[in-house]
Amino acid sequence: MANFFFDLKVSDATVDQTNADPGTNSAAVLPGSQTLSVDGVDLTVSVPLFMFPTTGATVIVTNGATLDTPDLLFATTGADQIPGKLLIDGTSSATVNQFTGPVPNGGTVKLNVEFGGDGDGSFTYVSSGITSPIMINGMSAGDSIHVPNATFMQFNYDPTSETGTVHFVSGALPVTMSIQGMPASVGNVIAADPQSYFTNGDFVMPVCFLKGTRLRTPRGDVAIEALQAGDQVWGQSGWRTVKWIGWRKYRVALLRTDDERAATLPIRIRQHAFAASMPDADLLVSPWHHLWLDGVLVRARCLINGRTIVQEPRTEWVEYYHVELDQFDVVIAHGVYSESWADGGNRDFFQNVAVSELRPQDRKRRRADRPGFAVLRDPVAEAALREKYAARAMSLPSVEAPIAVANG
């Protein structure tokens, strides 16, 4: 383990694979207005002296890095305070631990968190007292926020400012987070049924198969809800062992607007949409679920063409499932390779998890790695795939989608 000392009043600092060791590294950091970058490694921070600047630090966590730090790293003092920023990029994660009691020497913590990249980042806030609102920007599908041992109390959404405000109670202490830049297509969905999105202080968007989806096993194609730990399914790398099955259920009647339904209702991929017998029967997945096409993982919602790939409007309940394997892989679902669950430590999102049995390392979101697979996020490349399958759709007979078998 490497040990560092940085003075952010003097200069920027970087911890990456060139100067860090495998595993968790540590750094004593004096707060200042400069930038600390944690790039692709794990770092635990301590703040040894309580002398705070008027301008807060910028802390960047990128390339799958993890950061564990006291909130004192972001403390400022003086009449003209300029808050710092915590930037969580891509699949990186950061845990901020609140200082017990008042911030020393008249300091104030105004925590501004910004997500970058295209989802799967994680922010955890460990509360020890009454907090001022925590400002969060840039959340996208797959990004998550966590308040360990907290109880969800209330969520309010203001479409004018595109701000969602969530209230937790950690012990007897309130924690408030203001999620800014939240589009109505997300905010209204959450406001319609917040209990379906906030579980045990955690919030993450669904990325799952629909109930009834059949996966390839040694005994034939089996519905995902009928699988059990220890079963085998066919992956791109061969037979893989099921480690765990998670599920979550939504009541569609609580989704009041088109935007709300667009963010939650399943995508129907009609038979032969990609090629002959791909899929071999209609496949339904969540809008955020990745399919493996042309050597890349692409979200289903990016492929909608209004003909062979459509949003399913006719159902009362939606029940999503995900399968975790002994290692990440793509599995055959109705003749199409689709992603298994990439464990980012957000197991609490699913309704069937035994929360009391989770280990501490399970409650901390880890890197949601998809080793060996490229994830497509380029809008131009996504458009090219969409146009490819839209062109194929024109050569296929026009069909009406049957009513979705999504009721649980």
pLDDT value for 121 = 82
What is the distance in angstroms between the CA of the first residue and the CA of the last residue of the chain? 49
Enumerate the H helices of 179-285 as residue ranges.
184-192, 258-264
pLDDT value for 342 = 63
pLDDT value for 119 = 62
Cis peptide bond upstream of 206, omega within 30: no
pLDDT value for 132 = 67
What is the signed CA dihedral for 304, 306, 308, 314, rounded to 10 degrees? Answer: 90
pLDDT value for 205 = 55
The low-confidence residues of the chain, meaning pLDDT below 50, are 206, 344-349, 351-367, 401-408
Q: Specify the pTM.
A: 0.59
- pLDDT tens per residue, range 179-217: 998 877 567 767 877 876 776 787 765 456 777 889 999
pLDDT value for 259 = 64
Specify the 3-state DSSP secondary structure of 183. Answer: coil
The closest of 172, 148, 20, 27 to 95, measured between CA atoms, is: 148
Tokens coding 380: 């131009």
pLDDT value for 352 = 45
pLDDT value for 35 = 95
pLDDT value for 225 = 84
pLDDT value for 266 = 86
Beta strands in 294-355 (DSSP E): 296-299, 309-311, 317-325, 330-333, 336-339
Mean pLDDT, the chain, integer: 82
